[in-house]
Amino acid sequence: MESSVGRGFDILSALTGRTVANHRGVSISDLARDMGRDRSQVSRTLSAMTEEEFLLRDAASRTLAPHWRLYADAQELTAHRLRTDGQTALEGLAADTGESCYLGILVGDATVTIAERVPPGSNQIGSWIGRPYPAYCSDCGQALLCDAEDDEVASVLARTDFVRHGPNTPTSIDDFLHRLAGTRERGYSVIDEEAEPGLYSIAAPVRDFRGEVIAAIQIVGPRVRLAPRTDDHAAAALSWSRWLQDALRGHNTR
């Protein structure tokens, strides 16, 4: 027999999914029809969830939507897991590749490292955690912006000065968008001496419970060593980004 808690979670999940898809509230009748449930049973469960402030009821349209508090709690939990499970993902990626690995987020028109795993023997001086880097010439920047529309990307980079950091640094927004198209097609970014001479890096996007890109997992190292292994490193980055996405949604797979 289905428990009331299980029934509540099923209804909340269905309501959230329909709200995200339609960007509006959902009626009790629509929800009952979608789930193949008795309307009166669904209505009783929804009324109890509304009283406990899991849901918001729009009196004018007579529709329901998840309470904003649920989104706030989910985002707070996601931010926590991004750092804790993100570190686990970086340790796994570094073990698979033997390279320095990082987890970055977008802040304005820059990327900021929030976690890192540097293998023993690395010649890295200091830590990258908390340090911003221009999004237009980093693997992380391309991965983080891969789902954004071109006009959104242009808005993010509208006040950016495209300073040359390496021999292949993008020179303009149009140049960046051209390279971003390749990232979108591949599903991961490849930066070849765009950030600095001799540096090569790969990044895969990490999506949250809403399906939105919130971080990028990166492999960074010398071009001479990484470039010949691009396919293997990209596969590893994608595998661990998927693992991290599952962790953010509450179910680890390793």
- pTM score, two decimals? 0.72
CATH of domain 74-248: 3.30.450.40
Provide the H-helix boundaries in the chain: 4-22, 28-35, 39-51, 68-97, 139-144, 150-156, 173-186, 223-226, 230-248
Whether 203 contacts 218, CB under 8 Å: yes
3-class secondary structure, 58: strand
Residue 133 β-bridge partners: 111
Q: Identify residue 57 by its one-letter amino acid code.
A: R
Pairing of strands 132-134, 63-66: unpaired
Report pLDDT digits (tens) over 96-141: 999 999 999 999 999 999 999 988 777 777 788 898 999 999 999 9
Mean pLDDT is lowest, of 29-33, 81-85, 87-91, 146-150, for: 29-33
Residue 133: its H or E element = strand 132-134
41 pLDDT band, cuts 50/70/90, is confident
Could you tell me the residue ranges of all domains in the chain?
A: 4-66, 74-248
CATH of domain 4-66: 1.10.10.10
Report residue 80: phi and psi, to 5°. Answer: -65, -45
Half-sphere exposure for 23 (CA within 13 Å, toward CB): 0
In this structure, how many other beta carbons lie within 10 angstroms of the beta carbon of residue 135? 25
| CA 62 to chain CA mean position, Å | 33
Report residue 73: phi and psi, to 5°. Answer: -65, -40
Name the residue among 192, 215, 193, 220 with its Cα closest to residue 204: 215
Report pLDDT digits (tens) over 137-193: 999 999 999 999 999 999 999 999 999 999 999 999 999 999 999 999 999 999 999
- Lookup: tokens for 170: 């993008």
- Lookup: tokens for 209: 């419970």
Q: Which DSSP category does 234 fall into?
A: H
